[in-house]
């Protein structure tokens, strides 16, 4: 179980303090698939980076299975069982897809075994297994390879930041099935997905809504989805867009 206790994150923005995460406390229980959603710029990726250890919170504590991991590095958190797929995947020049998957499993697996993970994310393994993880891969291919490495890691907590980004419609269907299979075999581990997609929200055990760096709602999909999809919450955003358009026209 992951516990965030009063997590805050401030950055220096041209000499002024900017609060990106404001006093967030939440738990990601074992045996649950939790989805975080909310408007662009709400702080979701920042929170994911704080969980992975890429950013250090300016306030609060992070506990993983009761142990304080706030000061642990990314590598040490990975060793404790936190796996992470970035919104913008990282490229590894000089490393082949096979090496990356083998590294993720931490075992000396065969090529055939590694290919199974690529097949899971809908990639024809033979075309990719010996490719270098560099800029010759398309955005969607890279994203799927990264998801395959998270599957290979089989972490206690797997975090996916907008796994749907850059994925075509056919592969998106495949991706939902990947998450459904992960959910079925979840055991005592947990899955955290950051997403804007209704179909991913639909497979969540719990949904958390982040807005302006704050947790504004948490509940089951029946409790959260209707309001999220309803006109009441969309209206203020629409008005904002109108105001931006007007301001741009007057500029
Ligand atoms: N180092 C930084 N310095 C200044 N502002 C930052 C920094 N990191 C993040 N921000 C700002 O914090 C806010 C939250 O960013 P974040 O990437 O967490 O949003 P998000 O909820 O993931 O959005 P999206 O849905 O677009 O992916 C944004 O306004 C972003 O510009
Ligand atoms: Mg983001």
- The DSSP code for 91 is P
Answer whether residue 251 shows pLDDT above 70: no
| DSSP letter (8 states) at residue 161 | E
- pLDDT, tens only, 81-114: 999 887 777 778 889 999 999 998 989 999 999 9
Q: Where are the domains of the chain?
A: 2-250
Residue that has been written with the tokens 């709400």 in this structure? 42
Of the chain, the end-to-end C-alpha distance in Å amounts to: 50
From the CA of 176, how far away is ligand 1's center (Å)?
26
For a ligand 1 pocket test, name from 16, 21, 41 the mutation site with the most ligand atoms within 8 angstroms of its C-beta: 41
**Residue 75 CB–ligand 1 contact under 6 Å:** no
Q: Mean pLDDT across the chain, nearest whole number?
A: 90
Distance CA 140, CA 147 (A): 11
Q: Check residue 161 and give its pLDDT.
A: 93
Task: Tokens for 113, please give them.
Answer: 């075994």
- Tokens 């998957």 found at: 101
Q: Is the CB of 83 under 6 A from ligand 1?
A: no
What residue owns the CA closest to ligand 1's atom 19? 41
**CA-derived radius of gyration, the chain:** 19
Q: Which CATH fold would you assign to the domain 2-250?
A: Rossmann fold (3.40.50)
Does ligand 1 come within 6 angstroms of the Cβ of 56?
A: no
- Which range is least confidently modeled, 60-69, 165-174, 223-232? 223-232
Q: Which pair of tokens denotes residue 164?
A: 């749907």
Q: What is the pTM of this model?
A: 0.89
Question: Using CA atoms, how far apart are residues 221 and 234, in angstroms rounded to an integer?
Answer: 18
What number is the average pLDDT over the span 214-229?
92
Write down the pLDDT at residue 86: 79
Q: Check if the beta carbon of residue 1 is closer than 8 Å to that of residue 29.
A: yes
Q: How many angstroms does the Cα of residue 40 sit away from the middle of ligand 2?
A: 7
The mean-pLDDT minimum among 46-50, 165-169, 179-183, 185-189 falls in 165-169
Q: How far apart are CA 219 and CA 235, in angstroms?
A: 22
Q: What percent of the chain has pLDDT over 90?
A: 70
Tens-digit pLDDT profile for residues 139-159: 889 999 999 999 999 899 999
Answer yes or no: are the C-beta atoms of 131 and 97 closer than 8 Å: yes
37 lines ligand 1 (CB under 6 A): no
pLDDT of 108-119, one tens digit each? 999 999 999 999
Nearest CA owner, ligand 1 atom 30 = 41
pLDDT at 234: 42
């Amino acid at each position: 179980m992951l516990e965030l206790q009063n997590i805050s994150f401030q950055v220096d923005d041209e000499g002024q303090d900017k609060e990106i995460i404001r006093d967030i406390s939440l738990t990601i229980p074992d045996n649950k698939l939790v989805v975080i959603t909310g408007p662009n710029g709400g702080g979701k990726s920042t929170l994911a980076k704080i969980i992975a250890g890429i950013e250090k919170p300016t306030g609060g504590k992070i506990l993983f299975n009761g142990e304080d991991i706030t000061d642990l590095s990314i590598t040490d958190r990975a060793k404790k069982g936190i796996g992470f797929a970035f919104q913008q995947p990282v490229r590894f020049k000089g490393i082949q897809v096979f090496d990356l998957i083998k590294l993720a499993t931490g075992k000396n697996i065969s090529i055939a075994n590694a290919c199974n993970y690529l097949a899971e994310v809908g990639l024809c393994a033979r075309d990719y297994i010996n490719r270098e993880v560099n800029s010759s891969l398309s955005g969607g291919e890279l994203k799927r390879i990264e998801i395959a490495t998270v599957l290979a890691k089989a972490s206690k907590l797997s975090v996916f930041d907008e796994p749907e980004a850059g994925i075509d419609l056919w592969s998106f269907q495949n991706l939902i099935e990947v998450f459904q299979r992960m959910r079925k075999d979840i055991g005592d581990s947990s899955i955290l997905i950051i997403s804007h997609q209704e179909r991913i929200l639909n497979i969540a055990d719990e949904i958390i809504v982040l807005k302006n760096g704050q947790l504004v709602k948490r509940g089951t999909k029946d409790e959260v989805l209707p309001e999220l999809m309803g006109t009441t919450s969309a209206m203020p955003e629409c008005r904002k867009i109108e105001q931006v358009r007007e301001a741009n026209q007057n500029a």
